[in-house]
Amino acid sequence: MKFRGLYLSEIKSDNFDKTQCMDSLSNPYTPNAGAEPQAVVGRDDQLKQFVMLLARLARRCTEQSMIITGLRGVGKTVLLHQFRGKALAQDWAVVEMEVQKHDEAAFRRVISARLRTALHELSPKAQWTDAFKHAVSVLKSFTLSVDPEGQWTAGLDVEPAEGFADHGDLSMDLTDLLVAVGAAAQDKGRGVVLLVDEVQFLESYQFEALIAALHKTIQRKLPITMVGAGLPQVAELAGDAKSYAERLFKFPEIGYLDEDDARLAFSEPAADEEVTFEAAALDLALEITGCYPYFIQELGYAIWESASTSPVTADDVREAWPLYEGKLDSSFFRVRLDRATALQQAYLRAMAELGPDAQRVADVAGVMGRTSQNIAPTRKALIDTGLLYAPKHGYAAFTVPHFDQFMRRTIPELKVPAPRR
């Protein structure tokens, strides 16, 4: 049995059993938000599409960009990191942004700070061509309306570009900015990709401004694009710009892995540590996790903590199961439930009664013994706080996989608070 703990002598006590190959130090699973798993599996299609997108833009061909959608924990952030690697390998400049609820001033500041870095990355200041100098001036104009003192653009050493990005309208200004940055990148034979995570937090006017700007850069055939990731409701976000959004972006949905990939997600990291899984152990692990990436990492981690020797058996998986479930219940699921009022919890529990899928308001109302009208505000509040989303009109679904199972575990019996008089 291989002994791998490099610094184990400092961590483990003297009576540490060296025949045990599965120690905490070598646990290869990654149950953390955005943590790159040792084996990124099942995302070849999206990776191919991304590489094709950059290659086509580089050839001045137009191509639909994409916004990856999926529930919490399916691997959207990890996929964006993979995109980053592919873009850097093609010598593109990468601008990464995680959207937070920002007002317009903060939104302008974040975009301009990131694009400023991208411009510096594309070319050292000493080698700026006219297109670069113009892009930097436009950048300065872009921030001027919200930063008249020029604090955010300190050190850029240029005058604002009069007539560019100074309209006081976010869509027009962002269009000028992305066009100018795209043209500068093209001048250097390079490209710029904005990788935007948590797109669902964009205000619709911000999303619409991005759409308007990208619409123009595509018309001009410039090597600049945006690829996003967000919860499934993002496809609804574009508001008035919806038809443009649908033409500009594909919205590929990622979710659970197929069974072969899920087996690899368990077995590959373990194989690196010379640990194997028996077939029955993998079957059970797939059943417990539903092949969801985050759950795979969490169960893999728990198995590693509780088992000690290779090969991992179905009994080992059974033993780790309560550890896994306890971890999910006390963190991943619990933080969500704690945000809900008693009536909202009852709504979620009633939904769980009906199953894991999207449910009609009328059906949930039926289970709760209320009318649809009566519970509509509760449903809306749950959507606003991100616990539910509306995949289609009149329906609501959980934003987290297996939430129905958790609700039934944690609230065994549905109790609906009496209506207020």
Ligand X SMILES: Nc1ncnc2c1ncn2[C@@H]1O[C@H](COP(=O)(O)OP(=O)(O)OP(=O)(O)O)[C@@H](O)[C@H]1O
- Where do contacts with Mg ion occur on this chain (CB under 5 A)? 76-77
Residue placing its CB nearer to ligand X in the complex, 40 or 111: 40
Does 37 engage in binding with ligand X (CB under 6 A)? yes
Does 31 engage in binding with ligand X (CB under 6 A)? yes
Number of residues that bind ligand X (CB under 6 A): 24
State the binding partner of 206 from Mg ion, ligand X, none, CB within 5 to 8 A by kind. Answer: none
Does 297 engage in binding with ligand X (CB under 6 A)? yes
State the binding partner of 297 from Mg ion, ligand X, none, CB within 5 to 8 A by kind. Answer: ligand X
| Contacts (Cβ under 8 Å, ≥6 apart) of 333 | 400, 403, 406, 410
The first and second tokens of residue 168, run together, are: 């006081």
State the binding partner of 232 from Mg ion, ligand X, none, CB within 5 to 8 A by kind. Answer: none
The first and second tokens of residue 76, run together, are: 């959207």
Residues 169, 108: contact at Cβ < 8 Å? Answer: no
Residues 248/254/259/261 CA torsion (nearest 10 deg): 80
Among 32, 100, 129, 276, binds ligand X (CB under 6 A): 32
Among 34, 239, 377, 394, binds ligand X (CB under 6 A): 34
Query: Is-cis flag, bond preceding 356, omega within 30?
Result: no
Among 21, 22, 40, 174, binds ligand X (CB under 6 A): 40
State the binding partner of 230 from ligand X, Mg ion, none, CB within 5 to 8 A by kind. Answer: none
Encode 343-364 in three state secondary structure: HHHHHHHHHHHHCCCCEEHHHH
The number of C-alpha atoms within 13 Å of 139 and in the hemisphere containing its C-beta is 29
Least gap, CB of 277 to ligand X (angstroms): 15
3 state DSSP class of 337: helix
Applying CB under 6 A, the span of 27-35, 323-331, 366-374, 408-416 interacting with ligand X comes to 27-35
Least gap, CB of 24 to ligand X (angstroms): 17
Applying CB under 6 A, the span of 143-151, 185-193, 293-301, 368-376 interacting with ligand X comes to 293-301
Residue placing its CB nearer to ligand X in the complex, 75 or 182: 75
Which of these, 201, 219, 192, 240, lies nearest to 94 by C-alpha position? Answer: 192
Does 42 engage in binding with ligand X (CB under 6 A)? yes
Residue placing its CB nearer to Mg ion in the complex, 35 or 172: 35
Q: Which residue is nearest to ligand X, using beta carbons?
A: 75
Spatial distance between the Cα atoms of 349 and 354, rounded to a whole number of angstroms: 9
Q: What are phi and psi of 226, to 5 degrees?
A: -125, 135
Q: Which residue is nearest to Mg ion, using beta carbons?
A: 77
Spatial distance between the Cα atoms of 139 and 106, rounded to a whole number of angstroms: 15
Q: What are phi and psi of 18, to 5 degrees?
A: -75, -5
Residue placing its CB nearer to Mg ion in the complex, 296 or 364: 296
Least gap, CB of 297 to Mg ion (angstroms): 13
Least gap, CB of 273 to ligand X (angstroms): 16
The first and second tokens of residue 413, run together, are: 């019996």
Does 183 engage in binding with ligand X (CB under 6 A)? no
Least gap, CB of 201 to ligand X (angstroms): 11
Does 43 engage in binding with ligand X (CB under 6 A)? yes
Applying CB under 6 A, the span of 76-84, 113-121, 175-183, 371-379 interacting with ligand X comes to 76-84
Spatial distance between the Cα atoms of 34 and 77, rounded to a whole number of angstroms: 5
Does 397 engage in binding with ligand X (CB under 6 A)? no
Does 77 engage in binding with ligand X (CB under 6 A)? yes
DSSP 279: H
Which of these, 214, 299, 209, lies nearest to 249 by C-alpha position? Answer: 214
Does 232 engage in binding with ligand X (CB under 6 A)? no
Q: What are phi and psi of 180, to 5 degrees?
A: -65, -40
| Contacts (Cβ under 8 Å, ≥6 apart) of 115 | 95, 139, 177, 181, 192
Helices (H), 90-129: 104-122
Does 256 engage in binding with ligand X (CB under 6 A)? no
Residue placing its CB nearer to ligand X in the complex, 178 or 234: 234
AA letter at 54: L
Q: Which residues bind ligand X (CB under 6 A)?
A: 30-35, 37, 40-43, 70, 72-78, 265, 293-294, 296-297
